[in-house]
A and B are shown apart, each in its own frame.
Chain A
């Protein structure tokens, strides 16, 4: 399933080429770890993945119902 995810914070340049969203084709349900692997991004540059405004555990499944709340990749805090 193709889904669009928001990317927030300083490390957008590393994750989504500076864009605020990124699209990925992934089987649902999936975990934040699955998503990171699918995107091929450095996990260290992701401070959290949120569903709605809640931090999701790395191995916690995200369902279609969860996806309605919106998924955001939060980049690690700050440039330093």
Chain B
């Protein structure tokens, strides 16, 4: 018996409508823990030679051993694949209640194989897995479909759903859940849409998973919950969630503004957390077993119609707010948040792609004839809404923009220097021209640019924005800690925001599984995954290596023109030295490839060589 796990993963073939069961082995648990670890393991093991959006391209949906347990913030769920946006490794996590439902139904995860002949709902109720026609739901928005499915299957049914953008294979489509949570990044929704899976509905009766040391586990979890609620940051965090970061980010010159052309948004106070909380009806919402709900559900009226949207949280305020030059009112951003959510688009990539399009239009790269004779303008909700719709339905200019900002610059043969992406994924919400650690974190993130992998910006501030002998070490340390949460599939914010001691997670994992995990063991497992995902890029992207680990030219050549960080830039020569240091400390060669010695040290050389 494998404590802490359901012990099985459903391998669902959508073409043949058959289900096989993969056993979760102790070896998998010890090497890869779960969540993102299992995803990387499977991608390496069974996706050799596979291209995204082909019948052989699988989608992996995984829980971890602490998912849906009494662990604080255990409502996370990880979804991954070979990304149709980047062609390399990709994963994204979503909070809510789906992981609890999956584990209650007795599954550690799902593997979706092949393509359904017609739109389908995968309905899971304990051991029962059924395929239900979804033709009537195809084309509908995410909010409507989730409400229909909750009505149909009961409020206790948990739903993952895609929107029209994924149906049309926009490459940065997301998977929506819990009426406001999303697995937003790397185009996980695109892969689900390609498979013609409109929704996955899960109901579980519970009692399927046993902890090795049940009483001890629950006692530690209770202590951890109490530690969270006693944090001196607790009240502040619960009141504002991530919306408070807007002020901090602007005051430090870190706020993406008009396609990262600068880093300070004039009049940002109209889109920040305090304005939002004081002006609108905002309610708190958390994921399963969350002691510190970060979700801020905002009710607002826009053009005479009432909307409710979970958010906008910081990343959306940054990318769909400041980066589009919007400083009129947080309701403008909230409306665009709702539109993107309903269409099923990632707000981070959407904001980056739209802002690139506006700048490209204003520089004469995109002709007026390609945008129906319109002017594409900053601080203009109609411009953004127009482009969101075009992208989601792949109409006109949307056919190009739906491929992501890197493709768009390639298509026009211009605008690469301000195409704000790394490895084909658009950069999230932190200007880094004064933050070398953060820049390195974006450049080396294993899914393309994403802050979730390492948020090194406060380290940069604490050392005066300089490159130090420890900058690369700090980034590496964070690149193991943060993804570790995606292996456990728990939320990192109790650690990040409330300072919950990381040792709790080792104690909880040990008590749940009966395997004696130390924190160092867990971080070593995270490093194992990091090296494997790096190898996935080498295996799947011809020519992959060092040249893929750079930020766009704007960050290396254009000093920030305005705001508190005015004049800041990190020249390429300095970044090169930092990258050299990073590779050396990782045990990678000068092209950024893990050495045999490193893979041997991590115990995966044989596994890697078998599937290279």
Q: Which residues of A contact B (CB under 8 A)?
A: 6, 8-11, 14, 20, 42-48, 50, 53-55, 57-58, 72, 74-80
Contact = CB atoms under 8 A, between A and B. Distances in A.
B495 interface: yes
A74 B482 CA distance: 22
Q: What are the 7 tightest A-B residue pairs by CB atom distance, in nearest-first order?
A: A78-B496, A44-B461, A8-B232, A80-B478, A55-B274, A47-B248, A76-B458
Interface string B434-473: 0000000000000000000011101101100000000000
A53 B239 contact: yes
Contacts of A8: 231-233, 236
- Chain B, interface SS category: helix
A42 B460 CA distance: 12
A53 B461 contact: no
B392 to A, nearest CB: 32
Interface in B219-274: 231-233, 235-236, 239-240, 244-245, 247-248, 251-252, 269, 273-274
Contacts of A53: 235-236, 239
A13 to B, nearest CB: 9
B421 to A, nearest CB: 22
A48 B243 CA distance: 12
Nearest to B272: A55
15 contacts: A6-B232, A8-B231, A9-B232, A44-B461, A45-B461, A48-B244, A55-B236, A55-B247, A58-B247, A58-B251, A72-B236, A74-B244, A76-B458, A80-B474, A80-B482
Contacts, number: 83
Contact of A11 (B245, B274, B458): B458
A63 B273 CA distance: 22
B252 A43 contact: yes
B324 interface: no
Given A47-B245, A47-B248, 14 more contacts: A6-B232, A10-B499, A43-B251, A55-B236, A57-B274, A58-B251, A74-B244, A76-B248, A77-B496, A78-B458, A78-B497, A79-B495, A80-B454, A80-B496
A47 B244 contact: yes
Contacts of A44: 252, 458, 461-462
A78 B461 contact: no
Interface of B: 231-233, 235-236, 239-240, 244-245, 247-248, 251-252, 269, 273-274, 454-456, 458-459, 461-462, 474, 477-478, 481-482, 495-497, 499
Contacts of A75: 233
Contact of B274 (A14, A42, A43, A54): A54
A9 to B, nearest CB: 5
Contacts of A14: 462
B428 to A, nearest CB: 15
A56 to B, nearest CB: 9
A9 B274 contact: no
A52 to B, nearest CB: 9
Contacts of A10: 458, 499
B240 to A, nearest CB: 7
